[in-house]
Amino acid sequence: MTRRAASRHPARFREAIIIEALEGKRLVDVMEVWQQRDLEALDAGWLRLAGRKASHGYLRAYLERPRGHSKTTDMALQLVWILQNSDIRLEGVAAAADRDQAGLIHTAMQKLVEQNAGLCRDLVFRQHAVINSRTSSRLTILS
């Protein structure tokens, strides 16, 4: 999988992502069916936000999952894709109930980027933000 292919669509990005905690396995090889369906349902919204065409799918969603069902990792995955791959400048906010929760999303994003540096080379991490050094897109993480 090339970096270019991964940058064009969230599904191709997921196919390329390696998860260190899973002994270096590709995310798609260990993803649950329900998890894949959730992410695929949201792909069109992320594509549109990135300024690309999408024929179907949701623009907004509320996903409720029990503890330990990849809420933070899946959100980090989506946020890393849009921040890295949108050619237009974006400003976003991730709001958490407290500092600990805010730290979880920041840490999850940072781990994904570190483990997949070839796919995510433009992202820079600050204390409460993630910034794309090429487009100046920014995600501010609030608590």
Pairwise CA distance, residues 136 & 129, whole Å: 12
pLDDT tens track for 21-79: 667 788 988 899 999 999 999 999 999 999 898 877 777 778 888 898 989 999 999 99
What's the CA angle centered on 14, arms 13 and 19, to 5 degrees? Answer: 115
Phi, psi dihedrals of residue 91, rounded to the nearest 5°? -125, 120
How far does the chain reach from its first CA to its final CA, in angstroms?
36
Task: Say what the pLDDT of residue 59 is.
Answer: 77
pTM, two decimals, is 0.92
Pairwise CA distance, residues 131 & 84, whole Å: 9
**Which residue matches tokens 């990849």?**
70
Domain annotation for the chain: domains and CATH numbers: 3-142 (3.40.50.300)
Q: Which tokens sit at 78?
A: 């989506």
